[in-house]
Chains A and B, each alone.
Chain A
Amino acid sequence: MNIFVQQFINFLQLGSIYALNAISFSMVYGIAGLVNFAHGSFFGISMYVLFFISTLLFQLIESTWIVYVIALIGASIVTSLVAVIVEKAAYSPLKNAPKIAVVVSSVGAGMALEYLILNIWGSKAKRMPDLIPNVTFKIADINVPLFKIMIVVIAIVTMIVLTLVIKKTKLGTAMRAVSQDRVAAGFMGIATNRVVSMSFVFGAVLATIAASLYGTAYTIFAYNVGENIIWWSFIAAVLGGIGSIGGSVVGGFIIAGISILAPIVLPVSSYKDIVAFAVLIIVLLVKPTGLLGKKSIEKI
């Protein structure tokens, strides 16, 4: 019983982090119409900025929460700036180019950023300071660190806020309009370029929030941290139906479920990757748009 509860908490933690990253992927795909492979590098930049701001602030401020909030805001701004620059430099000019050019461009931008991180901050791994107070509750023989609860809470709050922004605000309406039909949205007077840039900002902020949770949960990271997270998040997004926010959440939790369950159920714990990819292939065979993805009709 205890093991079950513990594993369930592990599942929620991992699922939350995958889901947030998958949403970033999905949003940019839905609105800008491109798979942003540079997302992993945005995630990496967020990690480093969070690390530097929080390390600095912890020398001045004692309250973990205040440091966390300031670091989160600072890192969001920096990462958003980088994201918008990448969008303007590497994607926007390719708006009318074949899709493969944008894919190559995004992979290139991602790698360039990753090596930029390596050159600026070096190869030595870093330890993220505890961004959430290091307290562990013992509830009926089960160890529950506070950060695990907070990761789930922060992820849920972020998803609710994001949904509200998309459903209720003017910007959100514009985003949905662009996602449905970019040309028509332009005719209706929506500044489509700005909306696309905003989707990158949203993606960057989500990446920063995810990075703060990841850093708290797994502490040690190096310049290639984004590379590792990107594939699972991408798979989660595709599995759930890329472009659909609900789908990304479902995909994130399915991948997390496999990660947690596989080592328990399978005789060899490292078989989980095989299972995850097998599930992905099966889902795509049955429903090529992903679990919650909508079929879009390509118009000529």
Chain B
Amino acid sequence: MKRLLMIALCLLVLLAFVAGCSNNAQTPEDESPSAPASDDEDMGDEDAATGGGVIYFGLNYELTGANPIIGESSVKGIDMAVDEINAAGGIVIDGETYTLDYKALDNGFNTDEAAVNAQEFADDAGICAMIGPNDSDMCMATQAIVTEEGLPAISPWSTLVELTDSPWYFRACFTDDFQGEILAKYAFEYEDAKTAAVLYDMSNPYNEGIATRFREVYEEIGGEVVEYLSYNGKTGETDFTSQMTKIASAQPDILLLPNFYEEIITQTTQARDMGYEGKFMGSDTWGDTSLLEWDTENLLDGALWVGHYHKDVASDAALAFIENYHELYGTDGDPNDIVALNYDAVYLLKLAIENAQSYDREAIRDGLMSIETYEGVTGTMTFDNGNGDPTKSAVIIQISDGEFKYLDTVQP
């Protein structure tokens, strides 16, 4: 009897956990204004894609795990674009109108789950393409699958260079090489920084990619990297005092922190506490207004980072996008880069389908390759590099008076 009770209890705990997990995976869909198709039963076969006049894509996003804000931002951008496209009459193929919809799977910021999701999309004939993941680490876990299965994929935010080695992977953003190079040149030439230090998370290829490229270019143009330090973000490290003490004793002109924005306040606070007096520099992962909100001591004043777009130099399309965002999600804070890039990714998919006049997977890939120019929220893109990398500009953003201020635009 007692044993039975015990088993029942264990099961109960397990059930509570499972319920917790699945409940949480559904949250964004429940809340999303478009209420996208989410039930496997509704689709997953040819009928869903052809019969109902609906084109489905898969969204592989980071809703839970270490950086859940990525997933939340992602789904906002996706919803905005999908709703807009459908409201404007959907996608027309050979005179027939289709609406766009998606199936979302959370990867939990976990490479295994990202791969499982990609496989599920690949196996589902009703899915024409995959958008996401956003994080480079997650993307790389899916690269082999999409290549082998021939599933066109667009990562909105992964700047990792190797991603587009696959002919099936595209992205809506610039690359780490471009980003690392801009940071190095900007630091050396415009900020007159002759010495620099780098602290990066070595457990993520994104952070490592920028750090490596920065050092390469910075040293090539005559700068000196006095400290090049790393930490393991996978173990949830929050104490960087040891590294910061070393950096502070070298007193470089610039400290590059190409890490996720959630870690930046901790890192900069510790750097200042340890006596570092120079400037901070960051990568596109800094682009969330929470950073400003948390920076109660104005430690980041004067700091620079590379972003994808800024409202001060925004096109009409981007201004409309920002306004629409405020209407839907409130006016506290502007849409971050992830929202904007996910939005652009959906439009890239739409353009590809229209170009190809088909939503066959191979046709979509060719359609993406043939996009001449797309005027997106995050700038003008052209896919003329012979791979999935768009040619697009970046903006240098400076933090001053508690705001992200536009400083400069850098053309590739």
Contacts and interface: CB of A to CB of B under 8 A. Distances in A.
Interface stretch (B81-89, B120-128, B152-160, B266-274): B266-274
Interface of A: 2-3, 6-7, 10, 13-14, 89-90, 93-94, 96-97, 101, 104-105, 108-109, 111-112, 115-116, 118-119, 123-125, 127, 134, 136, 142-143, 145, 148, 214, 217-220, 222-225, 227-229, 231-232, 259-264, 268-270, 272-273
A105 B290 contact: no
Contact of A224 (B3, B66, B69, B274): B66
Which among A112, A145, A224 has the greatest number of chain B C-beta atoms within 10 A? A112
B241 A14 contact: yes
Contacts of B246: 3, 263-264
B265 A104 contact: no
Nearest to B235: A273
Given A97-B6, A123-B68, A228-B238, A220 B249 contact: no
Nearest to A274: B232
Contacts of A109: 13
Contact of B2 (A14, A96, A123, A217): A96
Contact of B64 (A97, A101, A118, A269): A118
Given A3-B246, A116-B20, A269-B229, A143 B274 contact: yes
A241 B199 CA distance: 34
A259 B242 contact: yes
A115 B24 contact: yes
B304 to A, nearest CB: 21
A272 B241 CA distance: 14
Contacts of B238: 214, 217-218, 228
What DSSP secondary structure best describes chain B's contact surface? Answer: helix
Nearest to A226: B236
Contacts of B63: 123
Given A7-B241, A10-B239, 15 more contacts: A6-B274, A93-B6, A105-B10, A108-B10, A108-B14, A111-B17, A112-B20, A116-B20, A127-B265, A214-B238, A219-B294, A223-B68, A260-B242, A264-B242, A269-B230
Contact of B275 (A115, A123, A143, A223): A143
Nearest to B293: A127
B239 A218 contact: yes
Contacts of B265: 127, 219-220
Contact of B24 (A90, A119, A219, A260): A119
B1 interface: no
Contact of B273 (A136, A223, A228, A273): A136
A123 B297 contact: no
Given A260-B242, A273-B232, A118 B13 contact: no
Contacts of A214: 238
B378 to A, nearest CB: 23
Nearest to A263: B242
B9 A112 contact: no
The 7 lowest CB-CB distance pairs between A and B, nearest first, are A228-B236, A123-B68, A115-B20, A10-B241, A108-B13, A127-B294, A218-B238
B385 interface: no
B202 interface: yes
B236 A10 contact: no
B235 A231 contact: yes
B239 A3 contact: no
A48 to B, nearest CB: 15
Interface of B: 2-3, 5-6, 9-10, 13-14, 16-17, 20-21, 23-24, 27, 63-66, 68-69, 71-72, 202-203, 229-232, 235-239, 241-243, 245-246, 249, 262-263, 265-266, 269, 273-275, 290, 293-294, 296-297
Nearest to B5: A93
A218 to B, nearest CB: 4
What DSSP secondary structure best describes chain A's contact surface? Answer: helix
Contacts of B266: 218-220
A263 B269 CA distance: 19
A263 B235 contact: no
B230 A270 contact: yes
Contacts of A273: 232, 235
A269 B189 CA distance: 29
B13 A112 contact: yes
A284 to B, nearest CB: 19
A90 B13 contact: yes
Contacts of A14: 239, 241
Contact of B9 (A105, A124, A134, A232): A105
Nearest to A6: B245
A55 B249 CA distance: 35
Contacts of A96: 2
B263 A7 contact: no
Contacts of B68: 118, 123-124, 222-223
Contacts of A225: 236
Contacts of B5: 93
Contact of A124 (B14, B69, B243, B263): B69
A260 B246 CA distance: 11
Which among B6, B232, B263, B265 has the greatest number of chain A C-beta atoms within 10 A? B6
A232 B64 CA distance: 22
A229 to B, nearest CB: 7
A119 B13 CA distance: 17
Contacts of A224: 65-66, 236
A219 B20 contact: no
A272 B237 CA distance: 11
Contacts of A219: 265-266, 269, 294
Contacts of B263: 220
B6 A3 contact: no
Contacts of A119: 20, 23-24, 27
Contacts of B293: 127
Contacts of B10: 94, 101, 104-105, 108
